[in-house]
Amino acid sequence: MSSAADRTAGITAETATPGDTIAESQPDAPAQAAVEAPAEATDAPPASTSTNRRQPFGQGFLDTISTGWADRPELSPPARPQAAFAAARRAEVSAAFPGRRLVIPAGELKQRSNDTDYPFRAHSAFSHLTGWASDAEPGAVLVFEPAETGHEVTLYFRERADRTTSEFYSDASIGEFWIGPRPALAGVAGDLAVATAHVDDFESLDGDVVLDEDDELTRFVSELRLVKDEYEIEQMKLAVEVTARGFDDIVANLDRVVQHPRGERVVEGVFHQRARADGNAVGYDTIAASGPHACYLHWTRNDGTVAPGDLILIDAGVEVDSLYTADITRTLPVSGRFTDVQRRIYETVREAADAAFAAARPGVKFRSVHEAAMQVIARRVAEWGLLPVSAEEALDADRGGQHRRYMVHGTSHHLGIDVHDCAQARREMYYDGLLEPGMVFTIEPGLYFQIDDITVPEEYRGIGVRIEDDILMTERGPVNLSADIPRTADEVEAWIARLAR
């Protein structure tokens, strides 16, 4: 589970649907995918109020800045491992849209404030179809040009500038003196095994290009990710592995977390350090929700204390360099031991997760996973006297739902290059679709008793528990990729006793 909402951008991006989704770090590509090259940088400051920090260049600098540099070899590296997989994905897109010109932009930098930007993350559909991931260039565009057979595919981007141009030193956005080395066309062509060209050569959409079927392409590239290939599965395993180390780091720092007045921020920071050290970034804003904050499903403010006696719910995932991300939740007793009530609630959530896992088999409907978890939740809260009706009545699809007060979210979502992957797939392919080998999804039931919910006994109030694992479906059944991260109440207590300082 994670916060925010998917971006929308018609044919060039994935259109958002209601539900739990995660925003990417770049703005939407324009609906018609028109790309305009910025004007060449000049030595004179542009007419802008943001130039008062710019210092003029003396003539001596201008006379010498372009000289004295060693030659840079034109590299043509072997194709990276994901290149062949990306080519196969492009072939599927080409076959599905004969005769149509298709444009998939990477997106542009997004302003954070004044003259600073958020870290760039290419659009997921672009990365999936190119194999260009954490090192992708802002402003790049993948174009499928109709040909006699299929499409000619070209990746357009702004190649590094020669050091004889003023862009090299005067453009803080793309100049290599400012941001470091940028890729050359030949190098990227070899690396990704795709034809490349300068973005200035890209022609804006015009002529007979059809734009009123944008949703069709949006849907197709989303559904293309429902079943993961071999490369994607390996990347998902890697993301889970690094995420597990991040959770170990949190447990090992619990004493420091408790001592800080904003311990939730310490949890967030500890996990972020692991994500940046061993991966690309976090896959979504970390939820570090202690005490009553655990009852807020998307608590990302993370500014509260972490007090002994409370539970802390941590929902976090590392995005590795390929941009594939894990999405895992564990709920920990801050003092190292669950109280009786906390354990009762925790083990009920685990029972629901185990029931959902048992229901997940190739050929069953995806929604069956959620239904299995909800049967446990309804039965248990009814046994505790929290429902005004029986569990059977609560589970009635039309007239029931009373148990959902304590678990309002869904149990599962697809996972991959987006934390809520394939979000634009048709309902009959997603929620009502059949589970297939190669699908990766979460199982994440929970119970949340708000601090001011007078429908529950006082000792339940302010307790929130979620357990979330990442599941790979195989021909023989589901595999819990995150099973090595302690799950049972006993395992969690032993984990804290072993690592906490």
Shared-domain flag, residues 37 and 148: yes
Find the mean pLDDT for residues 213-219.
Answer: 85
The angle subtended at Cα 445 by Cα 290 and Cα 318, nearest 5°, is 65
Class of residue 366 by CB neighbours under 10 A (exposed 0-12, middle 13-18, buried 19+): buried
Alpha carbons within 13 A on the beta-carbon side of 66: 11
How many angstroms separate the CA atoms of 358 and 360, rounded? 6
**Residues 6+ positions from 424 with CB-CB distance below 8 Å:** 6, 14, 15, 16, 17, 218, 219, 222
**Same domain, residue pair 287 and 204:** no
Task: Report if residue 81 sits inside a domain.
Answer: yes
Q: How many whole angstroms separate alpha carbon 116 and alpha carbon 113?
A: 5
Domain assignment present for 4: no
Q: For the chain, how many structural domains are there in total?
A: 2
Q: What is the mean pLDDT of residues 255-261?
A: 97
**pTM of the predicted protein model:** 0.89
Kind and range of the H or E run holding 89: helix 83-96
* Residue 339: CATH number of its domain: 3.90.230.10
Residue 206 has what pLDDT? Answer: 53
Q: Are strands 141-146 and 477-480 parallel, antiparallel or unpaired?
A: unpaired
Q: Is the pLDDT of residue 38 over 90?
A: no
Residues 6+ apart with CB under 8 A from 163: 65, 66, 69, 176
The predicted structure's pLDDT at residue 173: 87
3-state per-residue secondary structure call for 367-431: HHHHHHHHHHHHHHHHHCCCCCCCHHHHCCCCCCCHHHHHCCCCCCCECCCCCCCCCCCCCCCCC
By three-state DSSP, how is residue 197 classified? strand
Q: What is the mean pLDDT of the chain?
A: 89
> Any idea which residue has 């357990």 for tokens?
467
Residue 374 CB neighbour total at 10 angstroms: 24
| 343: enclosing H helix or E strand | helix 340-359
Question: Residue 279: what pLDDT?
Answer: 98
CB-hemisphere CA count at 13 Å for 345? 26
Say how many Å lie between the first and final Cα of the chain, rounded: 29
Boundary (domain end) residue, out of 223, 245, 268: 223
Rounded CA gap, 418 and 474, in Å? 21
Instruction: Note whether 317 and 324 are within 8 A (CB).
Output: no
Mark whether 384 and 455 lie in a shared domain. yes
Instruction: Give pLDDT, residue 287.
Output: 98
pLDDT band (50, 70, 90) for residue 212:
low
Question: Mean pLDDT over residues 453-458, rounded?
Answer: 97
What pLDDT score does 208 carry? Answer: 43
Q: Is the pLDDT of residue 301 over 60?
A: yes
Residue 237 in tokens: 């395993």
Q: Which residue has the higher pLDDT, 20 or 65?
A: 65
Q: What is the pLDDT of residues 469-482, one digit of tens each?
A: 999 999 999 999 99
Q: Which amino acid is at 134?
A: S
Token digits of residue 49: 């109020």
Residues 303 and 441 in one domain: yes
Are 216 and 276 members of one domain?
no
Q: Which of 176, 194, 223 is the last residue of a domain?
A: 223
Average of per-residue pLDDT across 250-256: 97
Does the pLDDT value for residue 271 go beyond 90?
A: yes
Confidence (pLDDT) at 51? 59
Q: Is residue 78 part of a domain?
A: yes
What amino acid is encoded at 27 in this protein?
P
Range 330-352 average pLDDT: 98
Domain presence at residue 2: no
Tell me the torsion sign for CA atoms 168, 169, 171, 177: positive
Q: Say whether pLDDT at 37 is over 70.
A: no
Q: Model confidence over 55-87: pLDDT tens digits?
A: 889 999 999 999 999 988 877 789 999 999 999
pLDDT (0 to 100) of residue 117? 94
Q: Map 138-185 to HEC letters.
A: CCCEEEEEECCCCEEEEEEECCCCCCCCCHHHHCCCCCHHHHCCCCCH
* Same-domain check for residues 490 and 440: yes
Asked if the model's pLDDT at residue 144 lies above 50, the reply is yes
Say yes or no: 320 and 458 in one domain: yes
Rounded mean pLDDT, 304-324: 98
Q: Is residue 95 part of a domain?
A: yes
Residue 161: predicted pLDDT: 86
The answer on pLDDT for 1 being more than 80 is no
Which domain range does residue 245 map to?
A: 230-499
Please indicate, yes or no, if residue 1 is contained in any of the structural domains.
Answer: no
Q: What's the pLDDT tens digit per position in 278-291?
A: 999 999 999 999 99
* Lookup: tokens for 485: 């991260």
pLDDT of residue 77: 87
Could you tell me if residue 419 is inside a domain?
A: yes
pLDDT in tens, 161-185: 888 899 999 888 889 999 999 999 9
* Among 103-117, 273-287, 338-352, the least confident range: 103-117
CB 13 within 8 A of CB 28: yes
**Span 362-380, mean pLDDT?**
98
Place 20 in a pLDDT band, splitting at 50, 70 and 90.
Answer: very low
Q: Is residue 166 part of a domain?
A: yes
Looking at the fold, whether 73 and 42 belong to one and the same domain comes out as: yes
User: 49: which residues sit within 8 A by CB, 6+ positions away?
Assistant: none
pLDDT at 163: 87
Q: Are residues 199 and 251 located together in one domain of the fold? A: no
Cα dihedral 393, 398, 401, 407 sign: positive
| pLDDT of the residue at 109 | 94
CB atoms within 10 A of CB 457: 12
**The pLDDT value given to residue 13:** 33
Question: What integer is the mean pLDDT of 343-355?
Answer: 98
pLDDT at 380: 98
Domain-terminating residue out of 190, 223, 256: 223
CATH number at residue 109: 3.40.350
List 434's β-bridge partners, or say none. 365
Strand order in the sheet with 440-443: 440-443, 469-474, 477-480
Q: Which amino acid is at 43?
A: D
pLDDT at 4 over 50: no
110 lies in the same domain as 140: yes
| pLDDT mean over 336-340 | 98
30 band by pLDDT with thresholds 50, 70 and 90? very low
Is there a contact between 105 and 141 (Cβ–Cβ < 8 Å)? yes
Query: Is residue 165 domain-shared with residue 268, that is, in the same domain?
Result: no
* Beta bridge partners of residue 197, listed in sequence order: 156
Do 205 and 237 lie in one domain? The reply is: no
How many residues in the chain?
Answer: 501
